[in-house]
Structure 1
């Protein structure tokens, strides 16, 4: 017997409710106006770094090291180990989710200066994700920095360097 208690998954034709808004969405807007959605759970930077280290996977360890390296000072400026403690990129118009943001660096005025994407281990680079982050960074007057740590760091840096659309993305190998 089929389980009819679950609603059907949203499609392009059926409106759905976004995490960023309580109103039903219609079609996604074009172009998106990306912004930052802070974490739901409030933790200090030290708590988030410790929880990332407790995950013991290379990506989480690299995120903890990068946040320390950049001296992130506020817990809302970085993602944590679970979904409720992550910071997300969200369209401020339609509520579409663009993906997780690992952390941001702020300037002396408190504005976002860099959006930081951290890759550890094999350092698989997602060009679509980086292009979304670059679009948001451009709108904020910021830069995108990719921090790489692991066996795939050199290859990933070459992928970014050889993609003309990512020419402004800064790369740091830890």
Structure 2
């Protein structure tokens, strides 16, 4: 009886900053409180079947709640892209679905992509915000929960 090969060949080709916006104002600094902060995290996945690559774009942003005006002010946003090259990946793990480069990615493989991409954005975010007069840290995230909340089944 032969065992199924569960090794995935994965290489990070590139990690880069796509954009960084800093709109920190004196008002936010003077009224800063962690309970008035909202953290938003999002992602976008693209694949290239001819290059056998997957590109994961991740963004993080912080908004501040201005209670007087009853609105949220987005004041920091960072967007990064991590490109992965894949080798010896089964269709159970990764499948390119059409010519528009739509892809199916298993939860386990997506977990690997997110761990690497969020680690990269955490480091860039810390570097970019280190000199600010307020302390902003990208918290540790349960990526498996993030995957479940953003998962789409193959039948959808």
Which is higher, the Rg of structure 1 or of structure 2? 2
Q: Which has the higher helix share?
A: 1
In which range does the TM-score fall when normalised by the shorter chain? under 0.3
More RCO (CA 8 Å, sep 6+) = 2
TM superposition score normalised by structure 2? 0.27
Q: Which has the higher strand share?
A: 2
TM superposition score normalised by structure 1? 0.25
